[in-house]
Chain A
Amino acid sequence: MIKFEGVVKTYPNGVQALKGVDLSIEQGEFVCIIGLSGAGKSTLLRSINQMHQITGGKLIVDDVDVSTLKGKDLRRFRRNIGMVFQSFNLVKRTTVIKNVLAARVADMPLWKSLLGLYTKQDKIIALEALDQVGILEKAYSRADQLSGGQQQRVALARTVAQQPKIILADEPVASLDPVTSQQVMSDFVKINKALNITVIANMHHVDIALKYASRIIGVKEGKIIYDGPSLKVTNDILKEIYGRELSDDDLMGA
């Protein structure tokens, strides 16, 4: 369970990205965070695994106060949280399987990771993750030979191979076309259901968010202004979150 209690994040340049956020997310939920760019979506997401350190309030993940974690404890904590990025963040020059195996280095002794000595168990975990997102047959291709959608699936497989309890997705489909986006989002849903992994995704495109998430969190100017089931999101609520009528840019048109 993830619990925000009055979380504040102020950047060194004085910008206040989160202005007292209260939120609680149960294990196994599928949550989408929507809002204008600059509203604080990314900061909210990245504070959960402390890629951005919070500056005030309390953030508790599975009974651990996250903001007090440092060094080794922080790294051990992060092993339970996978992350998927808009730009996939794969090493394009190397093979798919090696990209997925990179999720296993956190658990390995340093000398083994320097020599690239992955155990058979690691390899099976990686291949199973690839199987789960349906690109097992691409395991030994170079990542840059894959399409954008396939690359994002490799990134998703990488987080699955990490065997996390939570997956954070920062705009996972923003650089994909509508059809591919739908496929990648169904993979997220599949993994959410099959492995009971909590998925929290930032979404620019409202229609995709409403279609796949069971719960929507609307963020505006560093505050949560809507938190509820996606079925109950009305046009008025969206208008409030975006401060204007929705435009074509906010929809993927899928």
Chain B
Amino acid sequence: MNKIKKFFLPKPIVLGNGKVVQPAMSPMVYVIPILLVLFFYSTSLTGFEIGTLINRGSKFFDILVRMFPPNFGYFGKVWTPMVVTLVMSVVGTLAGAAFSIPAAYLSSENMVKSPAVKLIVRSIMSVLRTIPLLVLVILFLNMFGAGAFTGMVSLGVFTFTIMTKMFYELIDTSDMGPFEAIESSGASRVKSFWAGIMPQLWGQYISILLYNFEMNIRNAAILGYVGAGGIGILLNDRLGWRAYPEVAMILLVLLVSVYMIENLSRYIRKRLL
């Protein structure tokens, strides 16, 4: 064992004054073998084969090539579903973000005195957070039927679970001084939170809201696939018909929309922080 250790340890360094320093063993010594083992195990499990990729990889580019030139005339049909996608993302994100404030308050370390309340709310929230978006969509499809309303509710609940966690972590690390001062003036804890903690966090709150919004636009494209409204329905339909120039037009509209939204949100974030 000692021999093996010696083999892996870096060479001792002799300093000018004759002292010998033994550098620490690099964590790479065990990280790399573990990663290699996992890599080969995963390739066999998933049937990953470089050969197939090389042989058939050109098909991927075939699809790309057949997308050109995009069917610009199709824009008239893409426009409305794209707006629906945007609207359901915006409304869903805003609703989820609004509900995340009270939930984050109840789960935060320093706002709620009762450890039981905190534990219960946190546990429920972390289980909800692990439920995949698609399961939520299927659930709400059963409630509200196919359409953008289902997409909006699903995105809202999904955003709610994610933002609650991101936001209570912010509350946990906020400055409690103003809260203490306002509470000492006779305000309730909720009022003290609102007047003492929230003003510190509005900027970061809007920032995580925008982050979730960007993510939701991408997610919204998924939702259409199972019938929850928006551009996804169209995308799936056109891909199924192998109408690649029209697919290209859809992707182009998506690209431009996401690009504009990302720049807008980057601009807002810069102004805020």
Q: Which of A17-25, A57-65, A80-88 is the interface stretch?
A: A80-88
Chain B: CB-nearest residue to A74: B186
- B199 close to A94 (CB less than 8 A): yes
Q: Contacts A87-B177, A90-B178 hold; do A106 and B185 have CB atoms under 8 A apart?
A: yes
CA distance A75 to B192 in the complex (A): 12
Counted as pairs of residues, one from A and one from B, with CB atoms less than 8 Å apart, the total is 82
- B191 close to A106 (CB less than 8 A): yes
- B203 close to A93 (CB less than 8 A): yes
Q: Which residues of B have CB within 8 Å of A105?
A: 182, 187, 191-192, 194-195
CA distance A138 to B192 in the complex (A): 24
- A102 close to B182 (CB less than 8 A): yes
How many interface residues does B have (CB within 8 Å)? 21
CA distance A159 to B199 in the complex (A): 19
A15 interface hit (Cβ, 8 Å): no
CA distance A92 to B175 in the complex (A): 10
Chain A: CB-nearest residue to B189: A75
B172 interface hit (Cβ, 8 Å): no
B180 interface hit (Cβ, 8 Å): yes
- B185 close to A85 (CB less than 8 A): no
A41–chain B nearest beta-carbon distance, Å: 17
Q: Contacts A85-B177, A89-B178, A94-B199 hold; do A79 and B186 have CB atoms under 8 A apart?
A: yes
CB-contacts of B57-100 with A (<8 A): none
Contact of A88 among B177, B182, B186, B194 (CB under 8 A): B177
Contact of A110 among B180, B191, B203 (CB under 8 A): B191
- A83 close to B181 (CB less than 8 A): yes
CA distance A187 to B186 in the complex (A): 23
Chain A: CB-nearest residue to B180: A89
B196 interface hit (Cβ, 8 Å): yes
Q: Which residues of A have CB within 8 Å of B200?
A: 91-93
Chain B: CB-nearest residue to A94: B199
B188–chain A nearest beta-carbon distance, Å: 6
CA distance A168 to B31 in the complex (A): 57
- A91 close to B191 (CB less than 8 A): no
CA distance A82 to B203 in the complex (A): 29
B98–chain A nearest beta-carbon distance, Å: 12
Q: What sequence of 0s and 1s flags, for each residue 219-261 of chain B, a beta carbon within 8 Å of any chain A beta carbon?
A: 0000000000000000000000000000000000000000000
Contact of A162 among B185, B190, B195, B199 (CB under 8 A): B185
Chain B: CB-nearest residue to A101: B195
CA distance A91 to B202 in the complex (A): 12
CA distance A68 to B183 in the complex (A): 18
Q: Which of A82, A98, A103, A105 has the most CB atoms of chain B within a 10 A radius of its CB?
A: A105
Q: Contacts A94-B199, A105-B195 hold; do A78 and B184 have CB atoms under 8 A apart?
A: yes
A202 interface hit (Cβ, 8 Å): no
CB-contacts of A31-77 with B (<8 A): 49, 51, 75-77
Q: Which residues of B have CB within 8 Å of A9?
A: none
CA distance A88 to B185 in the complex (A): 14
- A79 close to B185 (CB less than 8 A): yes
A104–chain B nearest beta-carbon distance, Å: 9
Contact of B194 among A83, A103, A113, A158 (CB under 8 A): A113
Q: Which residues of B have CB within 8 Å of A92?
A: 175, 200
- B199 close to A91 (CB less than 8 A): yes
- A102 close to B188 (CB less than 8 A): no
CA distance A64 to B250 in the complex (A): 72
- B181 close to A85 (CB less than 8 A): yes
CA distance A90 to B182 in the complex (A): 10
Q: What sequence of 0s and 1s flags, for each residue 183-219 of chain B, a beta carbon within 8 Å of any chain A beta carbon?
A: 1111110111011100110010000000000000000
Chain B: CB-nearest residue to A98: B199
Q: Which of B182, B194, B196, B200 has the most CB atoms of chain A within a 10 A radius of its CB?
A: B182
Q: Contacts A98-B199, A106-B191, A113-B195 hold; do A78 and B177 have CB atoms under 8 A apart?
A: no
Q: Which residues of A have CB within 8 Å of B183?
A: 51
Give me 4 other A-B pairs in contact (C-beta within 8 A), A83-B181, A90-B177 excluded: A82-B185, A90-B178, A98-B199, A106-B182
* Pairs A–B under 8 Å by Cβ, sample size 26: A78-B185, A78-B186, A79-B185, A82-B184, A83-B184, A85-B180, A85-B181, A88-B177, A90-B177, A91-B175, A91-B200, A92-B175, A92-B200, A102-B178, A102-B195, A102-B196, A105-B182, A105-B191, A106-B182, A106-B186, A106-B187, A110-B190, A110-B191, A113-B194, A158-B185, A159-B185
